[in-house]
Amino acid sequence: MRIALFVPCFVNHALPQVGRATVRLLEALGHQVVVPRNQTCCGQPAFNTGLPQEAAAVGKTLVERFQGEEVIVAPSGSCVAMVRRELPRLLPELAPLCNRFRELTEFLGKDPGVKDFPFAPFRGRAALHVGCHLLRGLGVEREPLELLRSVEGLQVVPLEADRYCCGFGGTFSVKAPRLSTAIGETRLAQALRLDLDWIVTTDPSCMLHMEGILARKRARTRVLHIAQVLAPKEEER
């Protein structure tokens, strides 16, 4: 299958390893991955700041880059929720194209050819963090959990805080940094008490926020995007 990759801003500018892992994963599953050029932001920062016209202008530029593509996948529930839920209200003429966007685990979870991910075992004890926009905005929860449980050698530990927000919230973390950090610390407290090896998340923005909190605490627990766990390891290509 031909898949057009939508590369979110956080991946493009801060976490390119997530983008590379996504490409490796999709190609290992037999898909052809193309990356349309001149992609832009989805418009979510402007939208969350109360600037719908500016968000529509940015979002229109992004969506039109994918004209002619039938399957569009991104490793971010946050950006896909913006494109699928909010942009059609701002740009109703582009709603059919907006509806073609899929978050990575949402896409993989519905692919009948994907049963397990035998590319490389991944050892350790991990908790899963599903970003709020994916969980509540798109209603995706079962798929990432089932995908993570399919990884050989990885023990998925359920936590009471698994449905908590990480505290990032896009521009919220800039406007209310102390509250944002406090929410994130609450989300991570049980994982730290259990001394888990990994927090595996579906969203790069959550990944950056939680990584920052753990680094300041000098914790050994590390955060990975789920694509990094599922994909063949980079050195094996």
Q: Which residue has the higher pLDDT, 34 or 110?
A: 34
Q: Of the candidates 185, 112, 116, 188, which has an alpha carbon nearest to the alpha carbon of residue 148? A: 116
Complete DSSP assignment for 100-122: TEEEHHHHHHT-TT----TTS--
Neighbouring C-alpha atoms within 13 Å toward the C-beta of 64:
8
The stretch 176-180 carries a mean pLDDT of: 95
Q: In what order do the strands lie in the sheet with 2-5?
A: 32-34, 2-5, 72-74, 101-103
Q: Note whether 134 and 102 are same-domain residues.
A: no
Q: Note whether 16 and 99 are same-domain residues.
A: yes
Q: How far apart, in whole angstroms, are the C-alpha atoms of residue 102 and residue 208?
A: 21
Does position 15 have pLDDT exceeding 60, yes or no?
Answer: yes
Contact 194, 157 (CB under 8 A): yes
Q: Of the candidates 29, 42, 38, 30, which has an alpha carbon nearest to the alpha carbon of residue 97? A: 42
Beta pairing class for 101-103 and 32-34: unpaired
Q: How far apart, in whole angstroms, are the C-alpha atoms of residue 233 and residue 84?
A: 31
Q: Which residue has the higher pLDDT, 223 or 113?
A: 223
Beta pairing class for 2-5 and 32-34: parallel
Q: Note whether 56 and 148 are same-domain residues.
A: no
In the prediction, which pLDDT does 170 show?
85
119 assigned to some structural domain:
no
> Which residues span the domain enclosing 40?
2-109
One-letter amino acid of 155:
Q
Q: Which of 52, 82, 109 is the last residue of a domain?
A: 109
Long-range CB contacts (< 8 A, 24+ apart) of 94-101? 94/60, 94/63, 94/64, 97/63, 97/64, 97/66, 97/67, 98/63, 100/66, 100/69, 100/70, 100/71, 100/72, 101/6, 101/66, 101/72, 101/73, 101/74
Does position 113 have pLDDT exceeding 60, yes or no?
Answer: no
Q: What is the pLDDT of residues 78-107, one digit of tens each?
A: 999 999 999 999 999 999 999 999 999 999
Q: Note whether 130 and 105 are same-domain residues.
A: no
Beta pairing class for 154-156 and 101-103: unpaired
Q: Note whether 145 and 214 are same-domain residues.
A: yes
Complete DSSP assignment for 197-222: SEEEES-HHHHHHHHHHHHHTT-S-E
In the prediction, which pLDDT does 37 show?
93
Q: Note whether 181 and 223 are same-domain residues.
A: yes
Q: Note whether 231 and 129 are same-domain residues.
A: yes
Q: Which of 76, 109, 142 is the last residue of a domain?
A: 109
99 assigned to some structural domain:
yes
Domain count, the chain: 2
- With cut-offs at 50, 70 and 90, classify the pLDDT of residue 110: confident
CATH of the domain at 94: 3.40.50
178 assigned to some structural domain:
yes
Q: What is the pTM of this model?
A: 0.94
Does position 214 have pLDDT exceeding 80, yes or no?
Answer: yes
Q: Note whether 67 and 143 are same-domain residues.
A: no
Q: Which of 109, 139, 156 is the last residue of a domain?
A: 109
Q: Note whether 103 and 129 are same-domain residues.
A: no
